[in-house]
Structure 1
Amino acid sequence: MMDFESYVSCVIGIMLVMHSKNANTFSINPECGETKGCYSDCDHGQSCTFSISWLSGKTSTEFTIQATLSTNTDHYVCVGLSSTQTMDDASVSSCLMTNSGSFSYENSYNDGHHNILVTNPTNGLSDLVHFYANNIINCTFKRTNSNTDAKVFDLTTNFYMMFAQGKTSGGKKLKHDKYSLSSQKVDLKSVAEVGQGEPSRIKAHGSIAIIAWMCFMNIGNIIVRYFKPLWSSKHIFGSAVWFQVHRLLMSIGAVLTITSICVIIRGSLKIGDTRFENAHPIMGITILCLVIINPILGILRPDMDSKYRPVFFCAHYIVGLGSLILGPVNIFIGIQLKKANVTRTAFYFLIVHEVLKCLMIVILEVLLIKEKNIVKQEEKYRLNSNEMHKIQRDNKSSPQNIDDNRPPYAWKVRKILLSVHVFIALTFTLGMVILVTTSTSS
């Protein structure tokens, strides 16, 4: 039997849906932060795609789940409670809707990647109130604050809150299409407003790192290795243009790397329970150290004629090469983590980029080797010609002139390759950022 409070919640939900400016979104309940606690993705109270509100009582807590759906086919929406910022051990209460218009609710729990019904799924759940209109579902129900089943968590404890929605088949929940995790633990006795945290922060961290290593570090490394003669006759602030471009790109990449780590770090290197998961933060801290060390080496670099110049060059090269290898490898690891919640397409997309980058490096390396061989042959020819010139005093023969001002070997081709490389880097960086920020794991 519907009580008065549940009836009021239902009426308010309907009013919010009817007054929404966008048929695919709704406005947050005005009671949020006043008489009810709320967790949502609302933008300043508007344009919500999901909202969970709660009102704690002496023996039970009333939950209201509101979310936008793409169709009126079989769907579910649920609220999950977890002691950690993962979905793996959450206690879940779900509202299921069939396209015939019938609704039901159930308690379940997550065991790793699997959602399992508790022994008595409806025990502790009551007063289900529901409606569906304009592609927006609204479910209100009560859940007892304590339960005899240990898999149905005690609501007097603080938990991270999770929202998830997806399709059902044969009355069973399928893999979620969307989920979100709160930025902090929730006290269900409070009326606080809680926002999203971990998923958005993880995606921001990944996006910034991708921009740093797929774009700036990538292009900066290519320029210093294969395009030193570029604008060699021009100088900016006392240094060759190629050097200033290289330094600018690498500095931006370093700043972005530091920023990406500041976005995600929470005082602990542990982000998972496996060596694979923990390899990512450890490798990230290693990369951070290398990124900080290399600019310091650059500032302290000795003069060209210094006896320590070879030592500097060796150290700078090793540190730079180490970071340039570890950077993309760590991105590969990061996009496969469960918390990243990124589609497998991003993994293959990144593989294609790295293959194209390696192919470009091979082509440029071949051209560089051929150029070095040509230079060696010319130097050898100069030496031989000078010796012959000393012997032939009658001046009947003279060494062949070599134009030292001509452009490097295959220079036009290399400039075209640089343009292609920059285009590929920018295109794939943009594509990866879009995949990381908008997609979910399959």
Structure 2
Amino acid sequence: MRSLQKLGFFCILLFLVSPVLSSSSQEHVKGASKHKENIHKMISHKLSFEITLHGFLLWASMGFLMPVGLLAIRMSHKVECRRRLRILFYVHALSETLSLLLSTAGAVMSFRNFNNSFNNKHQRLGVGLYGLIWLQALIGIVRPQRGSKGRSMWFLGHWILGTAISLLGVLNIYTGLQAYHEKTSKSIRGWTIIFTVQVCFFTFFYLFQDKWVYIKKQGVVLANESKRSTIDQVVLPREKQKEVAPVESC
């Protein structure tokens, strides 16, 4: 009889306590899932920040500093003042050195924090560019002296490789924007438009400064010819005009 009473008391106690245990267990599961969700959000936010920082470093390196250095050394070909020539050379060297350092920082950041399976164009092109940038830096350091036999071949190779790196760097920025969109599902239209405008500006400036001296010379030649023709018509007689008539250049 007593055993039955104890069994009944134990069943009643278990019936009363079971809801409390069940609610505490559910709260524990909800707390664990919420904690995991917060950790996932923190990881996603950190990964998004690292991807953005990686993209900014590579844009500053490939998309800005490298074209600036290319424009500076291109402008030096038309400069006769030694002081301005030295300034443009230092701008070229400094911008290319900073570009190398920033691209190295972006590459190290990519290897450490991202899943580099090298199954897309952006990662493969990035690895190739990283090797070419260091090769270009070494070529720039071991340049021959001006006037030596190998200077012309060195200059040709340095110019071709530098131009190729700049073009591939711009292409890799576009592929990086596409990879950023696929990774974060964020819109890249605004960044693509801004970068395209920048590329067009650098291209126009490159072509314009290359022809600026030629354009100025064309204006001077035309002005001199017009002035000379006017003087000949006013001062010289017709016989002399025929004798001193300017020969038409090819």
Same fold (TM over 0.5): yes
Question: Secondary structure in 2 aligned to 1:304?
Answer: coil
1:221 equivalent in alignment to 2:221: no
Could you give the per-residue CA deviations for residues 174-231 of structure 1, whole angstroms, max 9, x where no partner exists?
Answer: xxxxxx645xxxxxxxxxxxxx543222111101111112321121111111245669
Task: Tell me: CA distance 1:248–1:372, structure 2 relative to 1, closer, same or farther (3 Å).
Answer: farther
Residue 151 (structure 2) aligned to one of 281, 294, 309: 309
Could you give the per-residue CA deviations for residues 233-254 of structure 1, whole angstroms, max 9, x where no partner exists?
Answer: 328xxx8222112101111011
Residue 336 (structure 1) aligned to one of 178, 181, 184: 178
Residue 253 (structure 1) aligned to one of 83, 95, 99: 99
Does structure 1 retain, via aligned residues, the 8 Å contact 2:69–2:93?
A: yes
Could you give the per-residue CA deviations for residues 17-50 of structure 1, whole angstroms, max 9, x where no partner exists?
Answer: xxxxxxxxxxxxxxxxxxxxxxxxxxxxxxxxxx
More contact order relative to length (CA 8 Å, sep ≥ 6):
2
Question: Secondary structure in 2 aligned to 1:281?
Answer: helix
| Structure 1 residue 309, shift from structure 2 partner | 0.7
Corresponding residue of 1:415: none
Could you give the per-residue CA deviations for residues 93-117 of structure 1, whole angstroms, max 9, x where no partner exists?
Answer: xxxxxxxxxxxxxxxxxxxxxxxxx
Counterpart code for 1:270: S
Unaligned runs of 5+ in 2: 1-18, 220-250
Task: Tell me: CA distance 1:371–1:270, structure 2 relative to 1, closer, same or farther (3 Å).
Answer: farther
1:350 equivalent in alignment to 2:195: yes
Aligned positions, number: 195
Task: Tell me: CA distance 1:251–1:324, structure 2 relative to 1, closer, same or farther (3 Å).
Answer: same
Question: Secondary structure in 2 aligned to 1:302?
Answer: coil
Take 1:264 and 1:281, find their aligned partners in 2: how far apart are those partners?
9
| Structure 1 residue 370, shift from structure 2 partner | 4.2
Does structure 2 retain, via aligned residues, the 8 Å contact 1:217–1:250?
A: yes
Unaligned runs of 5+ in 1: 8-54, 66-77, 81-160, 164-179, 183-195, 273-277, 375-442
CA RMSD of aligned residues (A): 3.3
Does structure 1 retain, via aligned residues, the 8 Å contact 2:76–2:89?
A: no
Does structure 1 retain, via aligned residues, the 8 Å contact 2:66–2:166?
A: yes
Identical amino acids, percent of aligned pairs: 19
1:327 equivalent in alignment to 2:161: no
Could you give the per-residue CA deviations for residues 42-83 of structure 1, whole angstroms, max 9, x where no partner exists?
Answer: xxxxxxxxxxxxx66xxx873226xxxxxxxxxxxx949xxx
Residue 61 (structure 2) aligned to one of 170, 190, 212: 212
| Structure 1 residue 362, shift from structure 2 partner | 2.6
Counterpart code for 1:247: A
Corresponding residue of 1:64: 34
Could you give the per-residue CA deviations for residues 255-294 of structure 1, whole angstroms, max 9, x where no partner exists?
Answer: 111111111114964255xxxxx11111111111111011
TM (norm. structure 1) is: 0.39
Matches within 5 A, 1:67-86: 79=37
TM (norm. structure 2) is: 0.66
Corresponding residue of 2:132: 290
